[in-house]
């Protein structure tokens, strides 16, 4: 279990697996949309589902451990902001993949993990037939918007970690790198 002085290896591993997975998926997602690289959608959806499984494990682990405890005394505003940021990051890491599944499923494109189909595709004459165009449109808009929002929050989260490390010199970043702090 996590302590104020050290995070468990499970916490550190889950954090970095989810962080790198999401950053990679956002990068590929932006590339796919900007270049209309439709051949990457299957890979994006497959890895997205794998990362989603890790996200659910991380969420369960975070629920058992609680939110990270600050390593130093901080103002109520700073503590409130840190708690809110962690909660919003956790929520977005769950909701973003769900909106992708809604988009893909409702559009008739289905989704799965590589060759293992989880939600069926529906095609006729080489075209996807939507189960619900409204849900597809909503899922697509939400997935894109939340992806950019999550990217902004990740950048702020990284900036806060660097602030703790470089300015406050309080060990917060070292703890997430698996080191014990004094």
pLDDT band at 86 (very low <50, low <70, confident <90, very high): very high
pTM of the model: 0.91
pLDDT given at position 182: 81
pLDDT digits (tens, 9 = 90+) for 18-67: 999 999 999 999 999 999 998 999 999 999 999 999 999 999 999 999 99
Report which secondary-structure segment, H or E, holds 117: strand 116-119
pLDDT given at position 32: 96
State the Cα–Cα distance between residues 88 and 149, nearest whole angstrom. Answer: 10
Q: Is the pLDDT of residue 1 over 90?
A: no
Helices 76-106 and 133-163: crossing angle in degrees, nearest 10, is: 150
């Amino acid at each position: 279990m996590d302590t104020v002085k050290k995070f468990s290896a499970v916490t550190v591993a889950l954090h970095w697996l989810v962080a790198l997975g999401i950053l990679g998926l956002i990068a590929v997602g932006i590339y796919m949309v900007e270049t209309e690289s439709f051949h990457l959608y299957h890979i994006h959806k497959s890895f997205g589902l794998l990362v989603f499984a890790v996200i659910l494990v991380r969420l369960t682990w975070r629920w058992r451990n609680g939110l990270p405890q600050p390593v130093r005394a901080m103002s109520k505003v700073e503590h409130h902001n840190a708690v809110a940021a962690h909660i919003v990051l956790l929520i977005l890491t769950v909701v973003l993949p769900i909106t992708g599944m809604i988009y893909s499923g409702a559009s008739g494109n289905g989704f799965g993990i590589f060759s293992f189909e989880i939600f069926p595709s529906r095609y006729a004459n080489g075209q996807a037939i939507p189960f619900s165009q409204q849900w597809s449109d909503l899922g697509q808009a939400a997935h894109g918007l939340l992806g950019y929002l999550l990217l902004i929050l990740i950048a702020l989260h990284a900036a806060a970690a660097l602030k703790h490390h470089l300015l406050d010199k309080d060990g917060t970043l070292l703890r997430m790198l698996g080191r014990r702090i004094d």
